[in-house]
């Protein structure tokens, strides 16, 4: 299987590691912004040196309870980082749901649109379809980031069914808009409007999502369900995150989205060497 992205047709014979580059500020001063862009560019270099197959760059925190930055603010954050990232020889994705940010990112040369809203914002499908080869990742989210973790529920407790139906519908909408199936990856959206039990159920039944006919991308890195399983705070979830990435691959994931690239790359090399 392959995933067509703008400059690269990605071979999915072995699992790929997508390294996370967050450009979300803790300072709003100008000095803060320049320092932040510098740090994010250096982080891109580091993740590529560590073996990242894809860089995922986002300026829109979708953590539960996060405030949504406006378009101009998001662009100010990600623009300098994207400009640098596209020079590094690996495919670059932009983690955004905003069609204006998508269009600008495409103009800067990004290869993949990674959208936690699965191209549902007005104009987003059209932006993706207008580019002949850009790859897209369509993710399932129930509710809105601000409130999605307040007692999420699924009819008949069928989280896998709900996720599969949503992803099938968004895949079909993308294809109908002119985005070829070979350009589409799908993601069940671990932690996006889901309890720990829902996330575990999705992991156990993940293989059923392969019937959707697209590569699966999974993001477990440092997420709160790993805190529930281990009792550890977010800063101590490295081993848990690596284990979750391996589990996702065993269950059919083609791409894992991670913060800790070096450790995940090593784990997958050993996995690949020992299990064939």
Considering beta carbons, is residue 80 or 219 the nearer one to ligand 7PJ?
Answer: 219
Instruction: Select which of 63, 223, 237, 269 is catalytic.
Output: 223
Distance between CA atoms of residues 82 and 112, nearest Å? 12
**Region 42-81 residues binding ligand 7PJ, contact defined as CB under 6 A:** 62-63
Query: Which residues are within 8 A (CB) of 28 and not within 5 positions of it... i.e. 6 or more apart?
Result: none
Query: Is the alpha carbon torsion for 234, 238, 242, 247 positive or negative?
Result: negative
CB–CB of 214/184 below 8 Å? Answer: yes
Considering beta carbons, is residue 104 or 115 the nearer one to ligand 7PJ?
Answer: 115
Instruction: For residue 116, state whether it binds ligand 7PJ (rule: CB under 6 A).
Output: yes
Instruction: Select which of 6, 77, 194, 257 is catalytic.
Output: 257
Beta strands in the chain (DSSP E): 2-4, 9-11, 16-22, 54-58, 92-95, 112-115, 135-139, 184-187, 217-218, 255-258
Q: Which among 97, 79, 98 is positioned nearest to 41, based on CA atoms?
A: 79
Q: Which among 264, 245, 253 is positioned nearest to 188, based on CA atoms?
A: 253
Q: Is 181 considered catalytic here?
A: no
Instruction: For residue 114, state whether it binds ligand 7PJ (rule: CB under 6 A).
Output: yes
CB–CB of 248/206 below 8 Å? Answer: yes
Find the shortest distance in angstroms from Cβ 30 to ligand 7PJ. 26
Q: Which region, judged by CB under 6 A, interacts with ligand 7PJ, from 2-10, 36-44, 71-79, 186-194?
A: 186-194
Binding residue (CB under 6 A) for ligand 7PJ from 108, 139, 148, 226: 139
Query: Which residues are within 8 A (CB) of 56 and not within 5 positions of it... i.e. 6 or more apart?
Result: 18, 19, 20, 21, 93, 94, 95, 112, 114, 257
Find the shortest distance in angstroms from Cβ 151 to ligand 7PJ. 20
Q: Considering CB under 6 A, how many residues would be counted as binding ligand 7PJ?
A: 14
Distance between CA atoms of residues 172 and 185, nearest Å? 12
Distance between CA atoms of residues 16 and 12, nearest Å? 7
Residue whose beta carbon is closest to ligand 7PJ: 219
Structure tokens at 250: 């065993």
Binding residue (CB under 6 A) for ligand 7PJ from 117, 257, 264, 265: 257
3-state secondary structure of 112: strand
Q: Which region, judged by CB under 6 A, interacts with ligand 7PJ, from 37-45, 141-149, 194-202, 215-223?
A: 215-223
Q: Is 223 considered catalytic here?
A: yes
Distance between CA atoms of residues 227 and 242, nearest Å? 13
Distance between CA atoms of residues 125 and 148, nearest Å? 23
Binding residue (CB under 6 A) for ligand 7PJ from 219, 237, 249, 260: 219
Instruction: For residue 223, state whether it binds ligand 7PJ (rule: CB under 6 A).
Output: yes
Instruction: For residue 124, state whether it binds ligand 7PJ (rule: CB under 6 A).
Output: no
Instruction: For residue 137, state whether it binds ligand 7PJ (rule: CB under 6 A).
Output: yes
Instruction: For residue 187, state whether it binds ligand 7PJ (rule: CB under 6 A).
Output: yes
Considering beta carbons, is residue 34 or 118 the nearer one to ligand 7PJ?
Answer: 118
**Which residues make up the interface to ligand 7PJ (CB under 6 A)?**
62-63, 95, 114, 116, 137, 139, 187, 189-190, 217, 219, 223, 257
Catalytic center residues: 223, 257
């Amino acid at each position: 299987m392959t995933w067509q992205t703008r400059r690269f047709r990605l071979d999915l014979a072995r699992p790929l590691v997508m390294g996370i580059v967050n450009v979300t500020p803790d300072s709003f001063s100008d000095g803060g912004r320049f320092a932040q862009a510098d740090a994010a560019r250096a982080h891109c270099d580091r993740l590529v040196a560590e073996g990242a197959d894809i860089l995922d760059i986002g300026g829109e925190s979708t953590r539960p309870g996060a405030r949504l930055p406006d378009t101009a603010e998001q662009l100010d954050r990600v623009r300098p980082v994207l400009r640098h990232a596209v020079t590094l020889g690996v495919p670059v994705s932009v983690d955004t749901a905003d069609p204006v940010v998508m269009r600008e990112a495409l103009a800067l040369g990004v290869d993949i649109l990674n959208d936690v809203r699965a191209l549902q914002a007005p104009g987003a499908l059209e932006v993706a379809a207008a580019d002949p080869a850009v790859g897209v990742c369509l993710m399932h989210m129930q509710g809105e980031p601000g409130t999605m973790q307040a007692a999420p529920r699924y009819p008949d407790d069928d989280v896998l069914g709900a996720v599969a139906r949503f992803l099938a519908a968004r895949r079909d909408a993308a294809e109908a808009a002119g985005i070829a199936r070979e350009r589409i990856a799908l993601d069940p959206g671990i932690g996006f409007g889901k309890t720990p039990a829902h996330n575990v159920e999705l992991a156990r039944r993940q293989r059923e999502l392969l019937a959707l006919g697209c590569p699966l991308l999974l993001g477990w890195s440092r997420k709160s369900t790993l805190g529930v399983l281990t009792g550890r705070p977010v800063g101590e979830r490295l081993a848990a995150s690596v284990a979750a990435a391996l589990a996702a691959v065993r269950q059919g994931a083609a791409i894992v989205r991670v913060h800790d690239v070096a450790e995940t790359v090593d784990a997958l090399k050993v996995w690949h060497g020992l299990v064939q």
